[in-house]
Amino acid sequence: MSNRDHVNIAPAEGKLGVLIPGIGAVSTTFMAGVEAVKRGIGQPVGSLTQLSTIRLGKRTDNKSPYIKDFVPLAGLDDLVFGGWDIYEDTAYDAAMKAQVLETSLLEKVREPLQAIKPMKAVFEQEYVKRINGPNVKKEGTKFDKAQALIQDIRDFQKANKVSRSVMIWCGSTEVFHRPSEVHQTLASLEEGMKKNHPEIAPSQIYAYAALMSGIPFANGAPNLTHDIPALLDLSRDRNLPVCGKDFKTGQTFMKTLIAPGLKARMLGMSGWFSTNILGNRDGEVLDDPGSFKSKEETKLSVLDTILQPQLYPMLYKDLFHAVRINYYPPRGDAKEGWDNIDIFGWLGYPMQIKIDFLCRDSILAAPLVLDLVLFLDLAQRAGMRGIQEWLSFYFKAPMHAPGLYPEHDIFIQLMKLKNTLRWMRGEDLITHLGLEYYD
């Protein structure tokens, strides 16, 4: 299947503004990393846009360009960063406090990081219980605060002479909320903001401000945010691509590697117990049951969708799946995730798998932020709008059209991502049928 000349992609000309609510561990590791790569003092390990190739045509064609040479992506030199936080720390100070990157590296990128001073945040204690800071917008209703964000965006774009922007939420995890009446239409959302409706979260106000400013939006946290009819309709009406939720990094990344493999071999599973210790600010926020509930929902949904117990009741219907996160300050960002997996094989004989992943959350998340920024910008220039399911690859709880189940299997997600890029450029999609090699 080919769609040669079907998708018109506008060139990536000029500067790309990257607007980030949340100048914390993930976003500063991302920004510092980009600055380090630009200076040739680090490599963008973990980033598909920077390192991955894409096969075109038959296996015998030997044609595998880099993704960045195949589709027109913004260059790292064209990225300009800005953001909001409830703390006044510059990106440099925030990175020093987060203690993800070594001081010696941060010193080398001190100048650009110090120039990133967070704008005043839209924040509500009810949504993030464990932290509080002085750098917040205090005046007016939620609607007034949305207008203030829109003004911030305009000022940023003008000051930095950007030609396009994207926004990516790297703020703390907000407490769990389900969509309600106020989230149904743009009119009800705007009316609700004017009345300070308690169901409208700060992250929703940022997403609204982004979309009203013509900016694509991604959500790196598990909060509800733009996964509501009012904002999804707005993204389609304004021709803006959006995606989310919750970066797929440590333990859930491992789950989506291992579970599809066990299922592919029709091995059964009776239990999967996951526990984590982490000591960064994210861990502190997740120590609150409301914020943890948001995380738990995205983490738990993965296995059910991959294993499909409704199709394979004998193998998976009795699966007991539990996820725990414990705040443990000594570990900082270098978290540890243990998994115990109880599986069974031929004739029901039980076996166990143990995983002990000593990972670094923000080191795993930073390249995902970079890819999402570049791909969302690409999608916008390619005229794609609404939910970008091809970016499911990056998320624990991929957003999807109503009535569809999300695709969690990372290898299917990768195929979908690369086929979407092939489709954009009018190349044949790769089905892996391969019969032609044996004709």
Interaction of residue 171 with ligand NAD, rule CB under 6 A = yes
* Contacts to ligand NAD from residues 97-126, by CB under 6 A: 98, 121-123
Q: Segment 227-246, which members bind ligand NAD (CB under 6 A)?
A: 246
Residue 182 token pair? 């106020």
By the rule CB under 6 A, 167 interacts with ligand NAD:
no
- Measure CA 240 to chain center: 17
Q: Could you tell me the smallest distance in angstroms from the CB atom of residue 130 to ligand NAD?
A: 10
Q: What are phi and psi of 86, to 5 degrees?
A: -80, -15
Q: Is 73 in the site for ligand NAD (CB under 6 A)?
A: no
Q: Which is nearer to ligand NAD, 388 or 419 (CB)?
A: 388
Q: Which helix (H) or strand (E) holds 326?
A: strand 320-327
Query: Quick check: 389 binds ligand NAD (CB under 6 A)?
Result: no
Does the footprint of ligand NAD cover residue 419 (CB under 6 A)? no
- Let me know: does 13 contact 72? Beta carbons within 8 Å: no
Binning the chain into helix, strand and coil, the percentages to the nearest 5 are: 45, 15, 40
The distance of closest approach from Cβ of residue 175 to ligand NAD in the complex, given in angstroms and rounded to an integer, is: 11
Q: How many CA atoms lie within 13 A of 208 on its CB side?
A: 29
- Residue matched to tokens 């598909």: 48
Residue 166 in the binding site for ligand NAD (CB under 6 A):
no
- The pairing of beta strand 336-344 with beta strand 350-358: antiparallel
Question: Is residue 33 near ligand NAD by the rule CB under 6 A?
Answer: no
**Contact flag: residue 84 with ligand NAD (CB under 6 A):** yes
Task: Look at the chain and count its residues.
Answer: 439
Q: How many CB atoms lie within 10 A of CB 141?
A: 14
| Residue indicated by tokens 């774009």 | 157
- Check binding of 327 to ligand NAD (CB under 6 A): no
Q: Among residues 157 and 249, whose Cβ is nearest to ligand NAD?
A: 249
Q: What number of other Cβ atoms are within 10 A of residue 31's Cβ? A: 27
DSSP bridge pairs for 120: 85
Using the rule CB under 6 A, is 280 a contact of ligand NAD?
Answer: yes
Smallest gap, in angstroms, from Cβ of residue 124 to ligand NAD? 7
**Contact between 219 and ligand NAD (CB under 6 A)?**
no
Closer Cβ to ligand NAD, 54 or 285, answer by number = 285
Q: Which of 17, 202, 268, 386 binds ligand NAD (CB under 6 A)?
A: 202
CA angle 371, 243, 149 (to 5 degrees): 95
Instruction: Mark 245-274 with x for binding to ligand NAD (rule: CB under 6 A) and - for no binding.
Output: -xx-xx------------------------
The tokens describing 221, both together, are 């946290």
User: Does 128 participate in binding ligand NAD (rule CB under 6 A)?
Assistant: yes
> Are 23 and 116 spatial neighbours (Cβ–Cβ below 8 Å)?
yes
Q: CB atoms < 10 A from the CB of 132, how many?
A: 11
Q: Is 362 a binder of ligand NAD (CB under 6 A)?
A: yes
**The one segment of 2-10, 148-156, 305-313, 361-369 that binds ligand NAD by CB under 6 A:** 361-369
Question: Contact between 86 and ligand NAD (CB under 6 A)?
Answer: yes
User: How far is it, in rounded angstroms, from Cα 195 to Cα 188?
Assistant: 10
| Residue facing ligand NAD at closest CB distance | 24
Residue ranges that bind ligand NAD, judged by CB under 6 A: 21-26, 84-87, 98, 121-123, 128, 131, 133, 170-173, 202, 220-221, 246-247, 249-250, 280-282, 285, 361-362, 364-365
